[in-house]
Amino acid sequence: MTGHGITIVFQVIGLLTALRTTSGKRFTVVSTGSPVPATLGNDSYLCCRLEPEISAENMTIKFHVGDYNICLYKNGKEDLSNQNETYKDRVELLTENITVGQVTLWIKNIQQSDTGNYTCTFVSDDFSSIATMELHVNSK
């Protein structure tokens, strides 16, 4: 192998090592304070972020409450195919800060049945972490 070929091999090995190191990082999911107050008929926001601050663009992110799937982010986009009907057309995952490990679940038109413990899960190739927060709905 020529010197040029060896250099390319080492560059590829270095790149693969860097990618492995990035995906192998351990992290903790941190949520905003709990309980999160919400008012019937208004909107509410449930925020989760990673510590340390790393990109979650290539991770799977799930929000659920009890057995209800609310939102799934996978392969770089939101997937609502298994979403519970209770949340249909009422939630959106805000991902503008996903490159620094932060997402926000926007729940629109809060209903009394939205009260509960919400779980946010971040899953990388070889690690996962969760945070739970309570949403407490008050009447107007």
Query: What CATH number corresponds to the domain at position 34?
Result: 2.60.40.10
Contacts of 39 (CB under 8 A, 6+ apart): 110, 137, 138, 139, 140
Tell me the pairing of strands 68-74 and 60-65: antiparallel
Residue 25: pLDDT band by 50, 70, 90 thresholds?
confident
Q: Is residue 69 part of a domain?
A: yes
| pLDDT confidence bin for 96, thresholds 50/70/90 | very high
CB 50 within 8 A of CB 102: yes
Residue 16 lies in a domain: no
Round to whole Å and give the CA distance between 67 and 15: 40
Residue 15 falls within a domain, yes or no? no
Distance CA 35, CA 25 (A): 29
Number of domains in the chain: 1
Q: What was the pLDDT predicted at 33?
A: 83
The rounded mean pLDDT for the chain is: 87
Task: Please give the Cα distance from 19 to 29 (Å, whole number).
Answer: 21
Range of the domain at 44: 27-138
- pLDDT for 19 beyond 50: no
Would you say residue 63 lies in a domain? yes
Structure tokens of 136? 């407490």
Tell me if 1 is assigned to some domain. Answer: no
The phi, psi pair for 16, rounded to 5°, reads -65, -40
Mean pLDDT along residues 12-17: 42
> Is residue 23 classed exposed, middle or buried when 0-12, 13-18 and 19+ CB atoms within 10 A define those classes?
middle
Q: Is the confidence at residue 108, as pLDDT, over 60?
A: yes
In angstroms, the CA 84 to CA 118 distance is 14
Q: Which residues contact 17 (CB under 8 A, 6 or more apart)?
A: none
pLDDT at 123 over 90: yes
pTM: predicted TM-score of the whole model, two decimal places: 0.80
Whether pLDDT at 59 is above 50: yes
Is residue 132 in some structural domain? yes
Is 22 a domain residue?
A: no
Across 107-135, average pLDDT: 97
